[in-house]
């Protein structure tokens, strides 16, 4: 994996705001000329994260974005770490050229960001206290027990998903990141953590704690938006850049590069996480429709 530099958002924001997204028709040429693309990402393994030991930027979403921009003639990626809830505001403010963390394409998000075509799909998951004392195997099980507290990461689709399954918002505990979710369950401040399946499995395996466990027989809810379809997202004014990204992405899907990245990324396989050609488009997902 090529080493990718990582900058802290608060230190880079002033510089990036002068040269980031929203540049209109010349954005592709600008990036090709500079040779560098600025990517905003949240620290959410296994999609996009900073390796704590090497300091390198890793994850399936990062590897896909890197390959796509290389296909576009932009060789250097600079990563900028920010909170999940600041990704869309950041790309809209011009702090980044693109954001990527396999963010699910949702109609409300499409109002504030310009999504590329889906590059992966994924389902949901749960982490509970050891031995699953509340016998939770689905979002509906959480709804059936009003005493259960669910730790959710700020800005994620799980708030919407759980509410659609009947979970009362009073049962939610909002935390900043995935480790915070597992920590809440481990400490007993929450009974369950809900997030996407690959995210939870990666965090659970990294934690290495006997105090929590992943729900292996989790029942995927039959609701709109699941499976989720993850994609890179751009400033609303950057249609040309988004279109160029889509063209390069399509090339890498067709030649097998995206499958290879998924198969070599922790928590993913091409068989489970690829988006089959013709399955769904970003436009359809932004309108609230999919076959998932």
Report pLDDT digits (tens) over 261-282: 999 998 899 998 999 888 899 9
Specify whether the CB–CB gap between 58 and 51 falls below 8 A: yes
Residue 25's pLDDT is: 59
Per-residue model confidence as pLDDT tens for the chain (292 residues):
444 555 544 333 433 433 444 555 589 999 999 999 999 998 888 999 888 888 888 999 999 999 999 999 999 999 999 988 899 999 999 999 999 988 999 999 999 999 999 999 999 999 999 999 999 999 999 999 999 999 999 988 899 999 999 999 999 999 998 999 999 999 999 999 999 999 898 889 889 999 999 999 999 999 888 899 999 999 999 999 999 999 999 999 999 999 999 999 988 999 989 998 888 999 999 998 654 3
Specify whether the CB–CB gap between 78 and 212 falls below 8 A: no
> Taking Cα atoms as reference points, which of 61, 57, 54, 44 lies closest to residue 179?
44
Question: Cβ-count burial of 56 within 10 angstroms (0-12 exposed, 13-18 middle, 19+ buried)?
Answer: middle
Residue 17's pLDDT is: 39
Phi, psi at 35, each rounded to 5°: 80, 5
Three-state secondary structure of the chain = CCCCEEEEHHHHHHHHHCCCCCCHHHHHHHHHHHCEEEEEECCECCCEEECCCCCCEECHHHHHHHHHHHHCCCCEEEEEECCHHHHHHHHHCCCCCEEEEEEECCHHHHCCCEECCCCEEECEEEEEECCCCCCCCCHHHHHHCCCCCEEEECCCCHHHHHHHCCCCHHHEEEECCHHHHHHHHHHCCCCEEEEEHHHHHHHHHHHCCCCEEECCCCCCCCCCCCCEEEEEEECCCCHHHHHHHHHHHHHHHHCCHHHHHHHCCCCCCHHHHCCCCCCCCHHHHHCCCCCC
Residue 292's pLDDT is: 37
How many CA atoms are closer than 13 Å to the CA of 240, on its beta-carbon side? 11
> Taking Cα atoms as reference points, which of 23, 44, 48, 43 lies closest to residue 33?
23
Question: Cβ-count burial of 250 within 10 angstroms (0-12 exposed, 13-18 middle, 19+ buried)?
Answer: middle
Residue 6's pLDDT is: 53
Quote the pTM value: 0.77
- Separation of CA 180 from chain center: 17
């Amino acid at each position: 994996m090529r080493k990718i530099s990582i900058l802290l958002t608060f230190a880079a924001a002033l510089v990036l705001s002068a040269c980031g997204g929203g540049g209109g028709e010349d954005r592709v040429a600008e990036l090709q000329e500079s040779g560098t693309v600025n990517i905003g990402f949240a620290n959410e393994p296994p999609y996009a994260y900073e390796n704590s030991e090497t300091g390198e930027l890793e994850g399936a979403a990062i590897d896909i974005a890197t390959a796509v921009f290389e296909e576009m003639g932009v060789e250097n990626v600079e990563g900028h770490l920010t909170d999940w809830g600041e990704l869309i505001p950041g790309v809209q403010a011009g702090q980044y050229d693109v954001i990527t963390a396999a963010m699910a394409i949702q109609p409300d998000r499409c109002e504030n960001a310009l999504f590329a075509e889906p590059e992966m799909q994924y389902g949901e998951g749960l982490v509970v206290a050891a031995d699953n004392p509340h016998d939770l195997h689905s979002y509906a099980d959480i709804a059936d027990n009003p005493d259960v507290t669910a730790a959710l990461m700020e800005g994620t689709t799980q708030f919407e998903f759980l509410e659609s399954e009947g979970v009362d918002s009073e049962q939610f505990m909002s935390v900043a990141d995935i480790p915070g979710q597992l920590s809440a369950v481990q400490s007993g401040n929450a009974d369950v953590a809900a997030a996407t399946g690959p995210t939870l499995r990666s965090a659970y395996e990294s934690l290495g704690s006997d105090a929590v466990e992943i729900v292996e027989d989790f029942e995927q809810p039959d609701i709109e938006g699941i499976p989720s379809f993850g994609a890179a997202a751009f400033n609303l004014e950057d249609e040309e850049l988004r279109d160029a990204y889509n063209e390069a992405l399509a090339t890498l899907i067709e030649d097998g590069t995206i499958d290879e990245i998924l198969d070599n990324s922790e928590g993913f396989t091409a068989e489970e996480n690829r988006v089959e050609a013709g399955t769904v488009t970003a436009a359809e997902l932004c309108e609230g429709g999919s076959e998932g």
